Amino acid sequence: MKWNLNPLFKSDTDPQIGKRQEAVKKASYSFINKWKIRNDYLSDPKVLAIALKEYEAWAANFGTNDQVCYYFWLRSEQEKSNPKVKAELNQAKDLAVKIENEIQFFTLNLSKVSPATQKKFLQAKVLAPYHRFLTRLFESARFVRSDAEEKILNQLSDTSYRRWVDLIESLLAEEERGGQNFPTLLADCANQDKKKRDKASQNVNEILAAWAPVAEQELNAVLEYKKSIDQIREAEEPETLRLISDDIDKQSVEAMLATVENNFKLAERYYKLKAKLLKQDKLTYFERGVPIGQVKKKWSFLEAQKLVSQQLAKLDPELGQIFSRFIKNGQLDVLPKKGKSDGAFCAHYSSTLPTYILLNHTGEWRDVKTLAHEVGHGINNELTRKMSRPIYFGTPTSTAEVASTFFEDLVLASSREQLADQEKLAMMMAKLDDEVSTIFRQVAAYRFEQELHRAYRQQGYLSKEVIGQLWQKEMKKYLGSAINFPKGSENWWVYWSHFRNFFYVYSYASGLLIAKSLQTKVRENPQFIQKVKKFLGAGLSASPKELFLDLGLDISRPDFWQAGIDQFAELLTETETLAKKIK
Q: What are phi and psi of 39, to 5 degrees?
A: -135, 5
- Residue 307 to residue 247: CA distance in whole angstroms: 35
> Other CB atoms closer than 10 Å to residue 292's CB: what's the count?
20
* DSSP per-residue string spanning 406-417: HHHHHHHHHHHT
User: Distance (Å, rounded) from C-alpha 550 to C-alpha 544?
Assistant: 10
Question: What's the predicted TM-score (pTM) here?
Answer: 0.87
Task: Please give the Cα distance from 95 to 18 (Å, whole number).
Answer: 12
What is the CB neighbour count within 10 angstroms for residue 554? 14
Number of C-beta neighbours around residue 267 at 10 A:
28
| CATH number of 157-295+422-506, picked from 3.20.20.70, 3.40.50.620, 3.40.50.970, 1.10.1370.20 | 1.10.1370.20
pLDDT at residue 278, as a whole number: 94
Per DSSP, 181 falls in state E
Residue ranges of the chain whose pLDDT lies below 50 = none
Beta strand 180-181 with 283-284 is unpaired
Q: Indicate the SS3 state at residue 284.
A: strand
Whole-angstrom Cα Rg for the chain: 25
Q: Where are the alpha helices (DSSP H) in 460-505?
A: 464-479
- DSSP state letters, 291-356: --S-------HHHHHHHHHHHHHHH-HHHHHHHHHHHHTT-EE-S--TTS--S-EEE--STTS--E
Measured between alpha carbons, how far is 498 from 518 in angstroms, rounded to an integer? 27
Distance from C-alpha of 429 to C-alpha of 190, rounded to nearest angstrom: 14
Whole-angstrom distance, CA of residue 446 vs CA of residue 451: 9
Specify the DSSP element, H or E, that contains 177: strand 176-177
Residues 6+ apart with CB under 8 A from 206: 177, 488
Count other C-beta atoms under 10 Å from residue 523's C-beta. 11
**Residue 180 DSSP code:** E
| Beta carbons within 10 angstroms of residue 65's beta carbon | 24
Beta carbons within 8 Å of 128's beta carbon, 6+ residues apart: none
Q: What are phi and psi of 389, to 5 degrees?
A: -65, 155
* pLDDT attached to residue 159: 72
- What is Dmax (Cα atoms) for the chain? 77
CA atoms of 189 and 512, how far apart (whole Å):
26
Q: What is the distance between the alpha carbons of residues 17 and 477, in angstroms, rounded to a whole number? A: 53
Q: Where are the beta strands (DSSP E) in 344-435?
A: 345-347, 356-358
Residue 299: the pLDDT is 92
Nearest of 26, 98, 35 to residue 62 by alpha carbon: 26
Domain ranges (residues) in the chain: 15-144, 157-295+422-506
CA distance 309 to 535: 21
Q: Exposed, middle or buried by CB within 10 Å (0-12, 13-18, 19+), for 487? A: exposed
Q: State the Cα–Cα distance between residues 480 and 484, nearest whole angstrom.
A: 9
Long-range contacts of 336-342 (CB under 8 A, 24+ apart): 336/360, 336/361, 336/362, 339/78, 339/79, 339/80, 339/81, 339/82, 340/77, 340/78, 340/79, 340/80, 341/77, 341/78, 341/80
Phi/psi of residue 277, nearest 5 degrees: -65, -30
The CATH number, out of the four listed (1.20.140.70, 2.60.40.10, 1.10.287.110, 1.10.3720.10), of the domain defined by the range 15-144: 1.20.140.70
Q: Which stretch of DSSP H or E encloses residue 483?
A: strand 483-484
Tell me if domain 15-144 and domain 157-295+422-506 are identical in fold: no
